[in-house]
Amino acid sequence: MSDPLYKTSLLRLAADAAGAGRLVEPHATGTMHNPACGDRVTVDLAFEDGRIAGIAFETKACVLTQASASILGADAAGLNRAEVAALRDTVAKMLAAGDEPPAAPFNTYRHFDGVAEHKARHRCVLLPIEAMLAAFDAKPEGR
């Protein structure tokens, strides 16, 4: 496939589907929808001391959204809300301005370099991160 939006590395990430599914007893859930393309992401989070202790994603979405969710499913455990917000900002700047990808372990977002020139698809990449932020915002006090 020669389309830079759907590089083999992104297809592999989407197929890996790290974190796919739902948590049995989540502490909080966040859902985000992209009305432009119909993508929908629901994330369940479990917390320990304000940090992600468990994560699961349910995606009804394109390969770009699925690949982004897979990156987070593999590596977001241990993050707090401020770190997730900083990740979102870094990925958004990478897509919009060609800035560097996030530091490891999230440097895998470098595979989205072909998305930069397709502004309408930036939201697809950011949707799982935004769903995580929505889950943090829905988190009950004390979790």
For 60, the domain range is: 4-138
143 lies in some domain = no
The share of the chain scoring above pLDDT 90, in percent, equals 72
87 lies in some domain = yes
Residue 7: pLDDT band (50, 70, 90) is confident
- Average of per-residue pLDDT values in the chain: 91
For the domain that residue 90 is a member of, what is the CATH number? Answer: 3.90.1010.10
How many other C-beta atoms lie within 10 A of the C-beta of residue 86? 13
- Dump pLDDT digits (tens) for 18-77: 888 999 999 999 999 999 889 999 999 999 999 999 999 999 999 999 999 999 999 999
**Domain count across the chain:** 1
pTM of the predicted protein model: 0.91
Residue 113: pLDDT band (50, 70, 90) is confident
19 lies in some domain = yes
